Structure 1
Amino acid sequence: MIVILLVIAALGVAAALVINLHPVFGGNPSREQKERYLTLGHYVKGKFVNQVPTKMDISVSEYVSMLKETLSGAEGRKPAGPLLVSKVDWSRINKGEDSLTWFGHSAFLLTLDQKKLLIDPMLGPVASPVSFVGSKRYSKDLLPIIDEMPRIDAVLITHDHYDHLDYPSIRKLKDKVGHFFVPCGVGTHLIRWGVAEEAITELHWWEEVQFQGLTIALTPSQHFSGRGPANRDTTLWGGWVILGSSTRFYTSGDGGYGAHFQEIGEKYGPFDIALIEGGQYDRRWSWVHMTPEEAVQAHADVRGNTMMLIHWGAFTLAYHGWAEPIERAITEAAKANVRLIAPQIGETVALHGELTAAANAPWWKSPV
C-alpha cells in the first residue's frame, strides 16, 4: 500500500511539474493583476464569475452517462471522411472590402475598414494541450494558412480554452500581428508564448478601446475559463463588438443563453452581422453552451440583421451529430424569419450586398 501511495504521489508531482513547466498551459495572473481585478464587480475570491450565478458542476450520474455515450460511439458525431476546405481567396481579402472568412469552429478573419482582424485563431490540428489526446480537426491542419496571410492588424481572443486559444497558432502568428486584444488575465498566456507585453491590451466587460478608427468592446458571456486544473476562472471570458465606419459586428464567444444578450443589443445594436455560438451543446452543460434555437433567439436579442452560426464544423466536443447544429439553426431561423448564412470553411463573404443570398449551399451534405 505504501508503494502504491508513493507512486500516486510521484505521478501527481510529475503532472504538476508538466503543467507548470510546459508553455502550452499558459501563465497565471500576477499578484498585481489580481489586486487590480478586485475593483471589478465580477471578480470574487480570486475567480471571475458570471453575471448570474451559474452551475458549473457535473454530477456523478452525469459523468457516467457521458462515459456511456462516449463508449457507444454514436453515429454522425464526425463526418464520414476529412472535410474539404475551400481555397482561400487572398486576392479578394486583400482588396480591403468589409468581409468575413471562416476557418471552422469559432476562428475567422474579419476585414473592417481595410483592417485585418483574426478572432479566436485556433488553426491547429487538435483541441487539446497534447497531440495524442483530444478532438482532432475534421479537415486538414490549417496552420499553413498562416504563412499565406497578409499582416494582421489585430488578434482578438474570447477566452483561453484550447478550442479558442491555440498555442501552435499563436506561436506561428505572433510575429505578423500588430496587436492582441484579450479579456482580463489572458495576456499572461500570450506573454509566456513570446508576445510582447506592450502588444497586448486586456479588457473587462463593457470596456471600450479605439483601434485604428475601429471601436472594440468586450461584452459579457455566460461561460468559464482555464487551461489546467489549478487555474479555472482565473482569466475572464466574453464576446466582442467591433464597430467600423459602415459595418457593426458582434461575435458572442462561448456561453449559455441569458439576459446579457438584450443588454448588448440595447447598448451596441443593431448589428449588420452577428456570429453566435450554437454548437457543442448538451443538457449536462446547458448553462455554458447554447442550443441552435437559443442561438437564434440570442441573435434577435442583440438586434442582429444577418446571423452566422459558429462553434461547429471543426471538432467534436459534444454528443450530438457534427452537422446537427447548422441543420437545427436553419430550421429555427426560418421559423423566426432570421436571415442566416452558412459559408463553407475557407470561403470569403462580403459583408455588404451578398448576405441575402451568399453562402447558403448545404456544403456539409456533400460527399467528402
Structure 2
Amino acid sequence: MIRRTALLTAATALAGGVSWVVRAAWGLPTALGASQRQLRPTVAGSPQFAEGRFHNAMPTPALEPATARSGLLRQWHEDRHKGLPGAPVPLARPEVPEQASALAVTWYGHSSALLEVDGRRVLVDPVWAERVSPSPLLGPTRLHPVPVSIAGLPRVDAVLISHDHYDHLDLPTVRALLRTQSAPFVVPLGIGVHLRGWGVPENRIVELDWDQAATVAGLTLTCTEARHFSGRFFARNTTLWSSWVVAGPEHRVFFGGDTGYTPAFAGIGARLGPFDLTLQPIGAYNDAWHAIHMDPEEAVRAHGDLGGQVLVPIHWATFNLAFHRWAEPVERLVAAAQARDVTVVVPRPGERVDVLAPPPLVDWWTAVGSADDAPRAPLPTENGNRWTGPARRFSSRR
C-alpha cells in the first residue's frame, strides 16, 4: 500500500510538471514569429543587410566580451531585485480628448505611448502584456497595471513599431489591435513577415528601411537609424530595428524606441528636425550592453543632437530588465537635464501631457522608491490598484 501511494504521488508530481511545461510552452511557435527562412526573401535587398543579417552602421557588440560576461551571472543573482519598485507605481486615468490636439503624448508605461500630432493619433510600441516573453509563464512581468484597456483606446491613425523584441512587439496586443482598430502597422523591414503570420492583412502593413518614409493620414512617418539588435529566439538580427520621426504640417516628434547612443542622431536632427518632442529610452542600461541601450545622460545628449525641445523618458518603470534601482534612470535623467537646461516632463503611467504647454516637473517617483531602498509608507494609488505584499505583484478592481 505504501509503495502504491508513493507511485501515485510520483505520478501526480510528474503529471504536474508536464502540465506546467505544456502551459509554459503554449503558443510558443506562433509567438516566436517568422523563421529566418521566411524572413530572408523580404529583407535581402536592404543596404543594412549583409551575410544573412542586419547590421548597425557602426561596430556594436550586443554584449561586451570578457569583463562584462565574467560578472554577469553574479550580478544577475545579487542585483536582480533592485529593479523592482519599493511601493505601488501610481497611475493616472488617461483623459484623451475626443479630437486629437496639435501636440500631446500619453505614456502608458515602458515604450508604449499615444502621440497626438496636428490632429492625428499614432500609437507607438504598444505592449499590453502581463509578461514580455513568448511564454505565458516565463519572463519579466509587469510592475504596474496597464492604465487603460486596449478597448479603451481612442481611434488611432497609425501603429508604429521600433523592433521585434518582446517588450516592443507583443502578439496578444497586435491581435487585440486587429479587432479594435483599423490603422496600419508601420514597421521596419522584416517585421511585416511576423505580422502576416499573425493574421494582419497586407493592406494594414507598411514596411520601411532606414531613411524611407510613408504618408499616413497626413503625417509623414520616417524610419530612422537606431543602434540596437533584433530577434525573438536564437537567431538575431533577422529583422531591422529603428527609431521613428512623426512629422505633421506643424509639429515633429522623434521616437527613440530602444537604442544605444549613436552619432546618427545629429544627422537625423539636421535632416528631419528640430523636434518639438523627443521620446528617449532611459532604462535597462548596463556596462555589459552599453552599446545597445542608452543611459540617462546619453538620452539627454541625444535629445540635444536632435534639436529637441521637450523630452519625455520612456523604456523604464514597467518591466525589470536590468540591474539598476527602479528609480535610478529618472533620477539620473533629471539631474543631467537640469545641468544642460533641458525641459523634461515625467508623466505617470496613463498621464497625458500637453507638449505645447508642458506642466512643471513633478517628482512622483521618489515616494515610490526602489526595492533596494529602506522601507517606506505605501503610496495611495489611483484606479483602485492595491498592493499585494512582499511578492510585489498588483491586482486591480477595474
**TM-score (normalised: structure 1):** 0.88
Give RMSD over aligned pairs: 2.2
Contact 2:278 2:310 in 1 (8 A): yes
Pair 66,114 (structure 1): closer, same or farther in 2 beyond 3 Å? same
Partner of 2:395: none
Pair 19,236 (structure 1): closer, same or farther in 2 beyond 3 Å? farther
Cα distance between partner residues in 2 of 1:57 and 1:70: 15
Cα distance between partner residues in 1 of 2:62 and 2:79: 26
Pair 263,82 (structure 1): closer, same or farther in 2 beyond 3 Å? same
Contact 1:153 1:178 in 2 (8 A): yes
Partner of 2:259: 255
Unaligned runs of 5+ in 2: 1-20, 368-377, 380-398
Shift of 1:114: 2.4
Tell me which structure has the larger Cα radius of gyration: 2
Cα distance between partner residues in 2 of 1:292 and 1:278: 5
What is the aligned counterpart of 2:72 among 56, 66, 71?
66
Letter in 2 for 1:293: E
What is the aligned counterpart of 1:312 among 295, 313, 316?
316
Shift of 1:60: 6.2
Pair 35,289 (structure 1): closer, same or farther in 2 beyond 3 Å? same
Partner of 2:31: 24
Letter in 2 for 1:336: R
Alignment of 1:171 with 2:178, yes or no, is no
SS of match in other structure, 1:274: strand
Partner of 1:106: 111
Higher relative contact order (CA 8 A, sep 6+): 2
Cα distance between partner residues in 2 of 1:251 and 1:64: 34
Cα distance between partner residues in 2 of 1:333 and 1:275: 14
Cα distance between partner residues in 2 of 1:147 and 1:75: 33
What do the CA deviations read for 1:178-205 (whole angstroms, capped 9, x no partner)?
2110000001111111111221000000
Letter in 2 for 1:24: A
Cα distance between partner residues in 2 of 1:110 and 1:177: 17
Letter in 2 for 1:156: L
Partner of 1:264: 268
SS of match in other structure, 1:331: helix
SS of match in other structure, 2:174: helix
Bigger drift between 77-86 and 318-327 goes to 77-86
Partner of 2:279: 275
Partner of 1:119: 124
Partner of 1:223: 228
Partner of 1:44: 50
What is the aligned counterpart of 1:204 among 206, 209, 216?
209
SS of match in other structure, 2:365: helix
Partner of 1:10: none
Bigger drift between 240-249 and 155-164 goes to 240-249
Shift of 1:64: 4.5
The aligned runs of 1:65-214 (5 Å cut-off) are 65-73=71-79, 76-90=82-96, 92=97, 94-97=98-101, 98-141=103-146, 145-175=149-179, 176-214=181-219
Cα distance between partner residues in 2 of 1:190 and 1:274: 27
Contact 1:155 1:177 in 2 (8 A): no
Q: Percent identity?
A: 37
Alignment of 1:361 with 2:362, yes or no, is yes
Contact 2:26 2:135 in 1 (8 A): no
Letter in 2 for 1:105: H
What is the aligned counterpart of 1:349 among 345, 353, 361?
353
Cα distance between partner residues in 2 of 1:217 and 1:309: 21
Shift of 1:24: 0.7
Unaligned runs of 5+ in 1: 1-13
Cα distance between partner residues in 2 of 1:36 and 1:76: 41
Partner of 2:237: 233
Letter in 2 for 1:316: N
SS of match in other structure, 1:103: strand
Cα distance between partner residues in 2 of 1:54 and 1:96: 39
Pair 202,81 (structure 1): closer, same or farther in 2 beyond 3 Å? same
SS of match in other structure, 1:188: helix
Cα distance between partner residues in 2 of 1:35 and 1:148: 38
Cα distance between partner residues in 1 of 2:238 and 2:205: 18
Letter in 1 for 2:53: K
SS of match in other structure, 1:136: coil
**TM-score (normalised: structure 2):** 0.82
Cα distance between partner residues in 1 of 2:213 and 2:332: 34
What do the CA deviations read for 1:330-362 (whole angstroms, capped 9, x no partner)?
00011111111111110011121x22x34x211
